[in-house]
Chain A
Amino acid sequence: MHEQDEVNRMDQIESLMKRPVLYNNIDGVGELGLGLFCLCCGLLDWTQVRNPTTYLWHRWWGMLWFWLIIAVIYYGSKAIKTHITYPRTGFVEYRKRKSAWMSALALGCATALLAAWVATLASRSHWHIGGPHWGMTTPAALLGLLYAGAYAYKIAGEIRWKWVVAAAMAICSVVIAMLPASMIGVVAANTSDFTTLPANYRAWILTITIYGAIMLISGCVSLVLYMRHTQPAMETAE
């Protein structure tokens, strides 16, 4: 009995130590930022694909939009935290671990490898209208499913209603992979790249745009729920 109490205590300690990490997305700001980033990347890619190479989207300064979005996400998140989150549920400063850059490097390498894999598969199979497309869009769908799995593991594991979001992501990936060839072709219709742009890449643009929209909606719902269930703290002696 006594030993069981100590085992429970150990479990409680481990669970408590994870809480500050989860607190980072208590207001949905993490998802809002990531959602906006994915949505904008998808839309920027789409605009580049849709427009002829002479348009401003293909010039180097067209990328300024990208940096503007990064700035909006960074300062927007900071503003929400400062004006909404900290006065309601408190301030947390996270530890700057020495090994953090190693994790970032490993994550960067893994992402680069995955992107290279998708690009290799894509370059082997160019788009043919009306032809088979399942094999061409499968890598994009698999990447999407991988992302949905990671989301379910990291976020939905703690907040139950987020399973709906994870399920929506997974369903979208499968649906995109199964869409008729003509529908995926719409992504790059009327462009000079029409015949050369791989189906895989079009499927990826669709996936990342839809994922961004889903996460943006999920983040907004989290923020509204957070604001509804919390109030700014009264100023009294601590």
Chain B
Amino acid sequence: MNLKTRKLYELDRVIHEPGRLMLVALLYAVEQADFLYLQHETEMNKGTLSSHLSKLEEAGYVEVTKTYRGKIPQTLLRLTAEGRQAFQQYRHRLKEAL
């Protein structure tokens, strides 16, 4: 196995999945965003988006906060410190592999 292939093999599988990669990249650029924003940007349906967010939450990369905007429920999402570090590492490894 050459070095480039090894670098690709070492990529974080939780982040590498295209749907989750989109979510992590969007959340990396902001402090926090709500579910609706992520749905609008990724054009995923609610079920798929929830499923990806659950996996990221299980991995400890995303923090979910349920709150209210006035009387309307709002789900806020932010990358944890661990999530930020994992995404930085992912980008670094991907760049090295290219």
Contacts and interface: CB of A to CB of B under 8 A. Distances in A.
Same complex origin of A and B: yes
Interface of A: 3, 6-7, 9-10, 12-13, 16-21, 23, 86-87, 89-96, 233, 235-238
B3 interface: no
A10 B94 contact: yes
Contacts of A87: 72
Chain B interface size, as a band, is 20 to 34
A91 B37 contact: yes
A128 to B, nearest CB: 53
A95 B26 CA distance: 12
Interface of A is mostly: helix
Question: Which of A89, A90, A237 lies at the interface centre, i.e. has the most chain B CB atoms within 10 A of its CB?
Answer: A90
Interface of B: 8, 18, 21-22, 25-26, 28-41, 46, 50, 69, 72-76, 91, 94-95, 97-98
Nearest to A10: B94
A91 B76 CA distance: 9
Given A23-B37, A90-B36, A96-B31, 11 more contacts: A6-B97, A10-B95, A13-B91, A13-B94, A16-B22, A23-B41, A86-B34, A91-B36, A91-B74, A92-B32, A93-B33
Nearest to B39: A90
